[in-house]
Amino acid sequence: MSELGLRLKEAREQKKLTLEDIQSITKIQRRYLQGIEDGNYKVLPGSFYVRAFIRQYAEAVDLNPDEILQEYKSEVPGGVVVEEQTEQLSRVSNRRSEIKYQNNKVYDILPKIVLGVLIIAVFMGVWILFQNNSNDEVKSTNLNKTDAEYEVSKDNKKNTVDKPEPKETDTEEEEKPVDNAKNNADQNKLKQVINTIETNSKRSTLELKETEKFILELLPIGTSYLDVKNGKGQIFFSGMTKEGETLTYDFSREEEVVLNIGRTLDVKMKINGEEVLFPQKPEDFVHQVITIKFDQQPM
């Protein structure tokens, strides 16, 4: 076993992970992982893949991949050519990730625009219907007047004409509180703010404020190592996720929550029903550790 392989194996065993767990996190075949630990790089498909696989293995066990490759560069096959190829591949991958990320943002905004147009159309339809009903009532009142009503004095006639107006005013005043209540509810709904206040490699810090609740949902779309705990170190979940399951936690009374996600490509996150993108692009940092600070604001 090489010194590099021994270093990776010790880090894996400290996290109580098996080679099967690392395979699930990195999607690298177990026999390649075993070859890296044994220093038998001949079993890998080529020298170009050696550095990429070692980098992913190191990230999965919380080691700095750049430091590992630099420290054991004499053991890793390949050289400057491999590094240049890796850098070129990384540039292409980053470019594709940026394009994919921009497309996802467009698709995220599009449903909100459609929903806004539908809401405006509904309000316009209700307003037009209300106006038509009001005009029909005025016409019906004028047609049903008898000849005797036209013979009353001018003073009585003015009183008769003026009486319906307070009713319309009362109706408008009764409707205003309903509209105001709905507008207030919409404003409260839009108050939630989630900011990224710090990022350092795979570690990031988010801030949740302007809301009185903190409901966290984690939705695995694949298999990933996951660790969920509060700021005091109390563990709520630690292990491998299953595709299709939903993990929901009410952290409304917590000031801080820490998420250790082994493979962010296979996990989605929502806060109070709103999907939240990871601070770092999953294509660049598959393994991420995210701290969420909750600044509760009573409504």
Q: Choose between 57 and 222: higher pLDDT.
A: 57
The pair of three-digit structure tokens given for residue 125, joined into one six-digit string: 């339809």
Residue 68 sits in which domain range? 3-78
Q: Are residues 64 and 135 in the same domain?
A: no
Q: Are residues 147 and 232 in the same domain?
A: no
Identity of the residue numbered 255? E
Using the predicted structure, report yes or no on whether residue 64 has a pLDDT greater than 60.
Answer: yes
Q: Which of 204, 262, 202 is nearest to 66 (CA)?
A: 202
For residue 153, tell me if it sits in a domain.
Answer: yes
Using the predicted structure, report yes or no on whether residue 81 has a pLDDT greater than 50.
Answer: no
Cα separation values, 168 from 77, 136, 156, 171, Å: 86, 14, 20, 5
Q: What is the CATH number for 52?
A: 1.10.260.40
Residues pairing with 27 in the sheet = none
For residue 226, tell me if it sits in a domain.
Answer: yes
Q: How many domains does the chain have?
A: 3
For residue 56, tell me if it sits in a domain.
Answer: yes
Q: Are residues 68 and 120 in the same domain?
A: no
- Residue-level length of the chain: 299
> CA-CA distance, 131 to 249, in Å (whole number)?
48
Q: Which of 265, 254, 266, 241 is nearest to 291 (CA)?
A: 254
For residue 173, tell me if it sits in a domain.
Answer: yes
Q: Which of 208, 212, 227 is nearest to 270 (CA)?
A: 208
Domain stop point among 189, 213, 228: 189
Residues pairing with 196 in the sheet = 206
Q: Are residues 197 and 185 in the same domain?
A: no
Domain stop point among 167, 189, 211: 189
Q: Are residues 185 and 197 in the same domain?
A: no
Q: Are residues 218 and 160 in the same domain?
A: no
State which of 75-84, 130-139, 158-167, 213-222 shows the largest mean pLDDT.
Answer: 213-222
> CA-CA distance, 197 to 204, in Å (whole number)?
8
- Average of pLDDT values for 240-265? 91
| Dihedral angle sign, alpha carbons of residues 52, 53, 54, 60 | positive
DSSP-derived 3-state class of residue 215: strand
pTM of structure: 0.42
Q: Are residues 175 and 261 in the same domain?
A: no
DSSP-derived 3-state class of residue 120: helix
**What secondary structure letter does DSSP report for 175?**
H
Residue with tokens 């105001």: 180
Counting residues of the chain whose pLDDT is more than 70, the rounded percentage is: 70
Condensed to tens digits (0 to 9), the pLDDT of residues 189-245 reads: 557 888 999 999 889 998 989 898 999 899 999 898 889 899 999 999 999 998 989
For residue 102, tell me if it sits in a domain.
Answer: no
For residue 89, tell me if it sits in a domain.
Answer: no
Q: Are residues 176 and 198 in the same domain?
A: no
Q: Are residues 242 and 289 in the same domain?
A: yes
DSSP-derived 3-state class of residue 71: helix
Domain stop point among 54, 78, 102: 78
Q: Choose between 166 and 198: higher pLDDT.
A: 198
When mean pLDDT is compared across 156-160, 243-247, 264-268, the lowest value belongs to 156-160
| Dihedral angle sign, alpha carbons of residues 258, 59, 284, 30 | negative
For residue 33, tell me if it sits in a domain.
Answer: yes
Q: Name the burial class of residue 75, with classes exposed (0-12), middle (13-18) and buried (19+) by CB atoms within 10 angstroms of its CB.
A: middle
Q: Are residues 168 and 215 in the same domain?
A: no
Inter-residue contact 240 to 162 (CB < 8 Å)? no
Strand 256-261 with 288-295, pairing: antiparallel
For residue 101, tell me if it sits in a domain.
Answer: no
Q: Are residues 139 and 117 in the same domain?
A: yes
Q: Are residues 185 and 198 in the same domain?
A: no
Q: How confident is the model at residue 126 (pLDDT cuts 50, 70, 90)?
A: confident
